[in-house]
Structure 1
Amino acid sequence: MTVTVRDFRAGDAEGFARVRHLALPFMLSTPESIAYDVAHAHPDAHFQPLVAEEDGELVGTAQVGVAHESPQPGQGYLNVYVHPEHRGRGAGTLLVSTAEERLAALGTSKAFAWVLDDPTHRAFAERRGYGAGRSAHFLRLDLANGSLPPLQEPPAGVELRSAADYAADPRPLFELDAETLLDEPGDISYEFTDYEAWLESTWHHPLLSHELTSVAVVDGRPAAFSAARTGGDGRYDTAMTGTARAQRGCGLAKLAKNDSLHRARAAGFTEAFTGNDAGNGPMLAINEWFGYEICATEVRHVRELG
């Protein structure tokens, strides 16, 4: 068995998405979204996906790049996933070493990696000098058979809209997304400052459903939202739920997410997924109220690059 690692090619999108789905079925990934991410990555991200092949078969993937939206320079990331039936044959090790070489050449001083929280995966990371940081949960909701909280009437002065209502001018949603991101817990802090880049990476992304993304509007301005992603296979994912700082504590995030979930179920979606930092108590409580259950956990690991 011969394992090799090379750069991603356009024809790899289907195999890349398949391996990602088998290794991480809680996160939406389609050939179209993979190809879009590669084609529309910001130049400062230096996004360099890699694939591992075993005797010509694509068996592993790595997302490699620089956290260019962080105010702290020198931070890179590598997220490596290997086909479950091909683990232990060297694909993961070769992907990690190649990714680290790429990041070091870009001048990054730290490499961050998400690692599934089980003994085998954590031991793999620790043997390569990675130390554990924050953890995050994947959560699942059975939309087909579970019971959602009843739809709520918006309180006086609040209106529910969809992101599709902002097709002509999505900048108000960019501003709300940027504000809520500042308070998102994590090992790496991010800032959205480039509207055109946000349009490319978020607004025009093929997984984002403008119709199912719900927005709570107060005094004509978006105050809370729940961003929906869909993969065309009955699965729905909440990419982000947030509220403007001045409007927090009023139940607007719960209102928007409930509206989006009900419309997703009415549209025929059967499974809902989301992810939360393990320390994000308020959002975990909201998702528990909806009936979500934790289905997996990842731990962010980091290594200093010499």
Structure 2
Amino acid sequence: MTVIVRDLRPGDRSDVESFARVRHLALPYILWTPDAILHHVTRTSPEARFRSLVAEEDGETIGTAQVSLAHDSPEPGQGLLNIYVHPERTGRGAGGRLVRAAEEHLSAHGATKLFAWLLDEPANRAFAERRGYRAGRTAHFLRLDLAEAALPPLPAPPAGVDVRTAADFLADPRPLFQLDAETHADEPSDVDHEFTDYEAWVEETWQHPLLDRDLTTVVVADGRPAAFSVAFTDGGSRYATAMTGTARAYRGRGLARLAKTYALHRARAAGCTQALTGNDSGNGPMLAINRSLGYEICATEVRYVRELG
């Protein structure tokens, strides 16, 4: 039996579905749908040199990779690769072949430093370290049983503060772009990102198929979005927080917690029964908010780094 690596076939729905299924089995703490996979393939900036790779054995998809350059970072030469193998198909060489293909692609396009997230498990750590990667920062996946959780009651917004949804900004989402750019710039990360292209943000973020504008909660203060909690849903019962943040001038006022509390109540009212989120392990304030809302850590991942050449 031979494992081959090839590009995902975006025009083949069954191929995309298999890709999403392997991702879900390997990493069930993130929402994976065929439409979301296709969105990344078709909407990611050409400057990212983005590729989705498939490891196939006897016609079965057993491994996947998403590979890109951090094109929106002020530091050039940074590559991103995330490799996930079907948990019942490990040890067959799929992961190693995907890593080699990803590294060759990124190196050919000028990458000199590679970053990869791995679930914090001994076999995964050993796999990365054998290939010259060193462990860096960690992050946590958190989960909340929305069907049973005792959510805190909805607080009354402070004077001069209004709680809205992203749907209220359909006519002009630019204020949300500005808030997203500011909060992302302050996220703990190995790779800095700068959101400066509004049209690209509309294509990649505002039009993302998982974005639920009715559940995405926006706190408005002084006439501008001051905090938000971005909601992704998979069309079923799962809800995920894609981002929660507050503009710098409004931090320390409890607005992020206000946004997330409203978002969770709205998600439960919409029929969602499971809430997912993730936080860098160094993001103490957000971890504290999530724990106060009932979230529990369900898995941890490690960022591995390799310098090329």
Q: Which TM class, normalised by the smaller chain length? A: over 0.9
Q: Find out whether 1:241 has 2:244 as its counterpart.
A: yes
Task: Determine the C-alpha separation between the residues in 1 that align with 2:236 and 2:104.
Answer: 37
CA shift, 1:219, in A, is: 1.5
Q: What one-letter code is carried by the residue in structure 2 that aligns with 1:189?
A: D
For 1:114, which of 114, 117, 125 is the aligned residue?
117
CA shift, 1:39, in A, is: 0.7
Q: Counterpart in 1 of 2:107?
A: 104
Q: Counterpart in 2 of 1:198?
A: 201
Task: Determine the C-alpha separation between the residues in 2 that align with 1:262 and 1:213.
Answer: 11
Q: Counterpart in 2 of 1:253?
A: 256
**Structure 1 residue runs of 4 or more that deviate by more than 6 Å after TM superposition:** none
In structure 1, list runs of 5 or more residues that go unmatched.
Answer: none
Q: Counterpart in 2 of 1:67?
A: 70
Q: What one-letter code is carried by the residue in structure 1 that aligns with 2:124?
A: H
Deviations 1:208-231 (A, max 9, x none): 100000000012100000000001
Counterpart secondary structure, 2:278: strand
Task: Determine the C-alpha separation between the residues in 1 that align with 2:128 and 2:49.
Answer: 23
Q: What one-letter code is carried by the residue in structure 2 that aligns with 1:243?
A: T
CA shift, 1:203, in A, is: 0.4
CA shift, 1:233, in A, is: 2.2
For 2:164, which of 161, 166, 178 is the aligned residue?
161
Task: Determine the C-alpha separation between the residues in 2 that align with 1:169 and 1:305.
Answer: 43
Q: What one-letter code is carried by the residue in structure 2 that aligns with 1:71?
A: P
Deviations 1:116-153 (A, max 9, x none): 10101110000000000110000000000111111011
In structure 2, list runs of 5 or more residues that go unmatched.
Answer: none
Sequence identity of aligned pairs in percent?
Answer: 69
For 2:298, which of 295, 298, 303 is the aligned residue?
295
Matches for 1:118-267 after TM superposition, within 5 Å: 118-267=121-270
Give the TM-score normalised by the residue count of structure 2: 0.98
CA shift, 1:69, in A, is: 1.2
Q: Find out whether 1:76 has 2:68 as its counterpart.
A: no
CA shift, 1:178, in A, is: 0.5
Counterpart secondary structure, 2:194: coil
CA shift, 1:232, in A, is: 1.4
Q: Counterpart in 1 of 2:31?
A: 28
Give the TM-score normalised by the residue count of structure 1: 0.99
Q: Counterpart in 1 of 2:60?
A: 57
Task: Determine the C-alpha separation between the residues in 2 that align with 1:72 and 1:61.
Answer: 27
Q: Counterpart in 1 of 2:2?
A: 2
Task: Determine the C-alpha separation between the residues in 2 that align with 1:196 and 1:136.
Answer: 30
Task: Determine the C-alpha separation between the residues in 1 that align with 2:303 and 2:208.
Answer: 25
CA shift, 1:36, in A, is: 1.1
Q: What one-letter code is carried by the residue in structure 2 that aligns with 1:148?
A: L
Equivalent residues, number: 306
Counterpart secondary structure, 1:85: coil
Counterpart secondary structure, 1:129: coil
Q: Counterpart in 1 of 2:307?
A: 304
CA shift, 1:263, in A, is: 0.4
Task: Determine the C-alpha separation between the residues in 2 that align with 1:182 and 1:210.
Answer: 22
Task: Determine the C-alpha separation between the residues in 2 that align with 1:39 and 1:13.
Answer: 13
Q: What one-letter code is carried by the residue in structure 2 that aligns with 1:30?
A: T
Task: Determine the C-alpha separation between the residues in 2 that align with 1:223 and 1:204.
Answer: 22
Q: What one-letter code is carried by the residue in structure 2 that aligns with 1:4?
A: I
For 2:88, which of 85, 88, 110 is the aligned residue?
85
Counterpart secondary structure, 1:115: strand
CA shift, 1:296, in A, is: 0.4
